[in-house]
Each structure stands twice: as structure tokens, then as C-alpha cells.
Amino acid sequence: MTTFDERERAFENKFAHDAEMQFRAEARRNKLLGLWAAELMGKTGDDAENYAKEIVKADLSKPEHEAVVQRVAMDLGGDADEATVRRKMDELLTVAKAQLIDEV
């Protein structure tokens, strides 16, 4: 195997790893967002966990983050608008990435 082939394989492995980590971070962010929204709605325990799972599934069924934003904003009613939900998503993505790094 040539050096070029080795470099190409390493690049492909890094790309796959980065894509997987981004997917996991976004799924974790959505769960954290669901837990945050559940808390604002007064849900606790299993109800909060189930709501968070619904938010993760919503993103998996329609891989458009806007669907999650709209769903959470609609569920929260007057407690948070779409802009607030987007800001919270940005904040929680940083938290999710840090959590994943700590787990490694």
C-alpha cells in the first residue's frame, strides 16, 4: 500500500468518525432540548424522558432542524418562540459535544 493510499484511508476514516460524532452530538442536543422543554411544560420523570425521545425521533424522521424548532416552539406555546428555541439548540449543541468528549 502506498503512502497516498494510507493517507486516503486515514482521511476517509476521519471523515466517517467526524460525521458519526456530529450525528451523535445533534441527537444528544435534541434530547437535552426535549428535557429543557419538558421542564418548562412541567413534565417530570418518565413523561419528560418520553417527550425528549419524541423530539429525537422527530429529527430522525425529518432530518431538518427546523422541524424540531417548530415542534418544540409549538409545544411550548407562549413559553418560548422559535428564536428562543434556536438559541437554546445552539447552546445545547456545545453541551452535547462536551458530554460526548468526556465520555471518550
- For every one of its 104 residues, what pLDDT tens digit does the chain have, with 9 covering 90 and above? 688 788 888 889 899 999 999 999 999 999 999 999 999 999 999 999 999 999 998 877 766 778 899 999 999 998 899 999 999 999 999 999 999 999 87
Q: Are 68 and 30 in contact (CB under 8 A)?
A: yes
**CA 59 vs CA 3, 54, 64: distances in Å:** 40, 9, 6
